[in-house]
Structure 1
Amino acid sequence: SFPVTIKNATSFQTANQHEQRLRQLISKCYLRIGTWEHELFNITDDSILAEIMKNYKYAWKYDNSNYKAWNAYAILNYDAVNYFKQQQQNLDIFNDTYRILIAKMICCKISAVKGLFKSIILSKVKYCLQNTLRLLTLLFEYGQYHEVYEAITEGNRTVPIEVWLYVLPQLIARIDSSKPLVNKLIHHLLIDIGQQHPQALIYPLIVASKSIVHDREFAANRVLNNMREHSHTLIHQALIISEELIRISVLWHEKWYKGLQVALEQYSTNRNISGMIETLEPLHATIEHGSTTVNERKFLDSYGNDLTQAHEYIRRFQQTRDQNELIQAWHLYYQVFTCIRTQLANITSLELEHISPRLTINCQNLELAVPGTYEPHKSSITIRNIPSIPVTSIALHNIRVKRNGIFSGNFSRI
């Protein structure tokens, strides 16, 4: 009986292989028919869409591992969402047709999400970026629908977290989404990324946490606080690096030069006194907190008394509205402005230890990776130290700082 059992098992295996090949062939046939219909007719009406959809659906039903079938199905549903969206235009929201279109759109969104996740899993291209971007579009635009939210949440469990590493800028950009379910999804995604790949998330998240937009700052800090539970040292080191890079990118001399330049234009050209005061107050607040570096101490030694006296004149003006107080203040401000302009023109280099001692003293043998070098599942290239070398300053007076903490301008420091 033993040889008979072996023979039966072999026959059964052969039959299974034959059936599998047959199903794969049928799947390819349905895919080809659907592709022809799609190319010939496109999505011109609901009946054609339904016919193409049926063929693509049969294609992946006969062969669940057919990447092309799943991808075609996903993209068709993705395009169908826009097709139904266009039909909604100029329709009243209480119209029955409008409600039917909404139902069709939701159905297509869910199918698109399901198909995109399946395509990403089956794709031979590592973490198919194009489909991930399509998923993000559905998340950002329609994630507020509970059905779409559930579909994305469920699908996310089936793909590796590394899929999202390549769209981190897009996720961070929407971190303060006003749509509650979208915000919740993004928050959970970033927390998952932070747990498994904190090095990938830390730099963009630190930038977002310094945003002047309250909701954005709050959302970023929520994720940072979660990361502190498992990556406290990394967060601490990144914050130091961030703060010090901001410090050396715009020194007090440069900050005051630019600020006085703007304030002078507001005062003398536009006669915008309130705007002038709003420009000057943050600058005064900075020096009132005291100095922390040699460069800042030298600034206070040179200009501290004059700026303090000028600030006092401004305060008197706010109380008395006496224009003479403004004249006295600007006599001092302009004197400081002229001196700083001359000083900046003569600066060719600065010692790093004079402008940021924390970078040279505190930043040694860090866990923090060098920006832009992190790769998943590889050893991180970490910062060993930041040597105290002369820092070349190019076009110091031309530096511009965006208020969200990202630096821009035609300059570099080496």
Structure 2
Amino acid sequence: MGEIQALRGTRDILPDEVVFWQRVEATARHILSKAAYREIRTPIFEQTTLFERGIGEATDVVGKEMYTFVDRGDRSITLRPEGTAGVVRALIEHGLYAQGGVQRLWYTGPMFRYERPQAGRQRQFHQLGVEVIGSADPRADAEVIAIATEILQNLGLKNLHLDLNSVGNKTDRHNYRQALVDYFTPYKGELDPDSQDRLTRNPLRILDSKDERTKEIAQNAPSILDYLGSESQQHFEQVQQLLSDLGIKYQLNPKLVRGLDYYTHTAFEVISDDLGAQATVCGGGRYDGLVTELGGPDTPAVGWAIGLERLIILLQQLQTPPVSELDFYVVSRGDRAEAQALILAQKLRQAGFSVELDLSGSAFKKQFARADKSGTVACLILGDEEAANQTVKLKWMATKEQTAIAQTELMTMIDRLRADIQSFRAER
């Protein structure tokens, strides 16, 4: 029997990489809480009809990429391929819209799509997303874009640009859809097979094709911006003005169409110039009809999602791993010393310090090597002599200065230790 390995399209996130994920999550949580966004956590699997109705049966996600199965209750179940539909379902089911006002929500977690795995794109992938539900105000569009920009900039990303478009309302899209059918039909035989299929089912998606010949043909396709009604045009102009007022640069991209059917009006992507072909880090837009489509009241909404795998790849390319925040590494040898080391480590943790206790039982030399590698500020050393005398040696890693201290005295100098640790850490 062969070795059991992770399934194709899934991957383990090991501790050295997890520190980047934790940095992203902590940064986003801080910024979102300041803006009054509240976290929501929805199930990983839902009824299949939720995604068929919400995302659209003519989309690639529903038609080709969903993980769908029949459970033991003979129900069709799907692992969520994106987060918005589940959030809206929860909003309707629990009547959150009845509380009045605007719902500002955010989520993070794994999503699932059956795609060809590549760097930054897995079959189990992770997203961080926000939803502002209950506001048709262009300021909501500008706010979510501003928050996405703030999160990415606070993570240290610089080579970013914002692509902006409007896909109009239902009437605008209907008129534009017919214009695209009329334009692409004479070229049908030259389009790639997927685009030929989309010509009758979802012609807007042809604009997103990666096939080179199809992209050439699409260069001269009609622009959605020429088919916007006055209401859509006014909304889009206000969004652009608000972004300019916020100092957020953008470029219009009439070919930008998000891959899900529920989008209306504003559509946008934040793109990194450091990622190569898979450049989109954040994508989103307005989806005013989705709540109604899923059985709720007429409720406007706007949001976005950040693909965390791509973002983490970017951070790893551009940044060094976060510096260890370990205050003490405890080295011990001998039965009495090891027992005292455990007590001492736990007391220091309870006092608010970060402490790693070496549990290997190996020779001092090997424990010291691990202490050096850990990035700790200080090392505490207990051997037979220290155990007999109820003392501990305190060694500052930066200066190699070493002092013997009574264990009881160590616990009375907490404030001084904390100040010394901060001082050494600031000098790194």
Higher helix share: 1
- State TM-score, norm by structure 2: 0.22
Q: Which has the higher contact order (CA 8 A, sep 6+)?
A: 2
- State TM-score, norm by structure 1: 0.22
Higher strand share: 2
